[in-house]
Chain A
Amino acid sequence: MTAYDVERGDGVHPGQPVKVDRYTAGARVNHWITATCLVLLALSGLALFHPSLFFLTGLFGGGQTTRWIHPWIGVVLFFSFAGLFVRFWRANLWASEDGTWMARLADVLGGREERLPEIGKYNAGQKVVFWSMSVLIVILIASGILIWDQYFAAYSTVETKRFAVLIHALGAVAIICVWIVHVYAAIWVRGTIGAMTRGQVTGGWAWRHHRKWLRELVGGGKKA
């Protein structure tokens, strides 16, 4: 039986050190498109969010371009993220050890992983990021379309748009915060970034952070 969190392309290469395939090239490209979009969206969105950040419109060639390009990037992000969602949603389903992991958050933050249960491909924190992103992106695209006046002005009332623009702002703040957590975690947990650049992590990394997943891979749970 295949473990729920072993994804296509995951695999182990014995050696010194052991190399573990974590993300396929497709997943990585998909991720970085999404990541780029998110950063551009944050920059263009923030430019229109607070007057002190309006200068950021300069990155896009001015206010008019920023205004029209932002929603199109949003559309790209939405579909790009949809790809990530299809790839990753099963591995991000909640597991029994995730509750324990969450309960021992102090140990997580203190780096005392020996006190944590063995974790599959994603820990509870990563899963929270994943699901937060998923939900927020749906909220943002929906509220974004309501205020995308160039094409959709006629389809909702001004009052609806007022709520939409507020929700869009709040959602954007939330997703940027989630993104900060995501990026910081990747930096703090050394050896992580390679997973999204070369697609591989070391065996020790997998042992330390996702031992259950590693065991599953070694145990032949490898997907064809």
Chain B
Amino acid sequence: MVSFILPPAPTTDVKTTYGQEDLIKRSASNISPPARQLTPVAKLIDVSKCIGCKACEVACLEWNDMRTPVGVNTGVYDNPHDLTPDMFTTMRFTEWVNPESKNLEWLIRKDGCMHCADPGCLKACPAPGAIVQYSNGIVDFDHDKCIGCGYCVKGCPFNIPRISQVDNKAYKCTLCSDRVAVGQGPACAKACPTQAIVFGTKDEMKKHAEGRIKDLQSRGFKNAGLYDPPGVGGTHVMYVLHHNDQPQIYANLPNNPRISPVVELWKGATKYAGLAAMAAFAAIGVIHHLVTGPNKVSEEEERKAEELAGKGKTS
């Protein structure tokens, strides 16, 4: 068996598209538990196998029928320089000198949506159904419903979504939900020549990662590990890192990502307390009026005014 070819994406759940019955989370909505549970899937990016060839980037552009502008060189290999509404994934190159071995390590991390189990974008989104999470874990944007407010950008602990200046909608990696729905893996994984990107069920991916980590440890990377951050409930895009003890060396991969407490406060207490405060003010007015009745001017006060005005000059 050619062992790097992993089992195909779960095909038992195959259906041409995902529908409302597959949602476990829906932005700005309360929904009932899904009618069926899809097998949780995951993409595993083995940074130690990545050669930074950018085939995944081009495959992503091809599959999503996008073009990203020809930029300039800025003294690094990072082109395009950042994620954009037309670039869902990009390689981030870091030249890192290992302080222990004094050897240079060229760390190449494929950046893109992590598909958090607890997605900050979804939490922040005000438009019902614009961001959804399927029961297989994929977090997807529904562009028909997106209003372009950019709240998802603020909600995301990984700085992933980008708002298009063309149609004012938020864009990010879909984990190729359209491919996964029909039993295919994501385009990037398909294009990856070294199988640094693999795709399957989350359990399979974790198991595969264990083998990779053991191999890395045998090669002297004693802190090799799986990046599946619990702060966001785990992710459906995971990394194998040679230095899992310091994810920040991989172009600022967050050490312990979680939805910002500021966002939690905004989308939590503020939302309810705010409505309550406004309601309270309105209610107090009504009650006050009922209790005290209107504050009216009396006839006598009118006369007093006439008297006062009479003393003065007439106009």
Q: Which chain A residues have a beta carbon within 8 Å of chain B's beta carbons?
A: 11-18, 20, 47-51, 54, 57, 62-64, 66-68, 109-111, 113, 147, 149-150, 153, 158-159, 161-163, 165-166, 169-170, 172-173, 176-177, 180-181, 184, 187-191, 202-208, 214-215, 218-220
Contact = CB atoms under 8 A, between A and B. Distances in A.
B263 A162 contact: yes
Contact of A149 (B153, B271, B305): B153
B295 A188 contact: yes
B278 A176 contact: yes
17 contacts: A51-B29, A64-B148, A68-B148, A68-B168, A149-B149, A149-B153, A166-B262, A166-B266, A169-B266, A180-B285, A190-B296, A191-B296, A202-B305, A204-B299, A204-B304, A207-B304, A220-B312
A2 B193 CA distance: 85
A109 B315 contact: no
Contacts of B315: 11-14
B295 A111 contact: yes
Given A17-B302, A165-B263, A169-B270, 6 more contacts: A50-B271, A153-B150, A162-B263, A190-B295, A202-B302, A207-B308
A48 B305 contact: no
B28 A54 contact: yes
Given A158-B153, A190-B295, A184 B305 contact: no
Given A203-B305, A204-B298, A165 B278 contact: no
B contact residues, range: 35 or more
Contacts, number: 185
B292 interface: yes
Nearest to B294: A190
Interface string B41-83: 0000000000000000000000000000000000000000000
Interface string B260-295: 101101100011011101100110010011001111
A220 B271 CA distance: 52
Contacts of B29: 51
B302 A204 contact: yes
A203 B309 contact: yes
Contacts of B313: 220
Contact of B154 (A49, A161, A191): A161
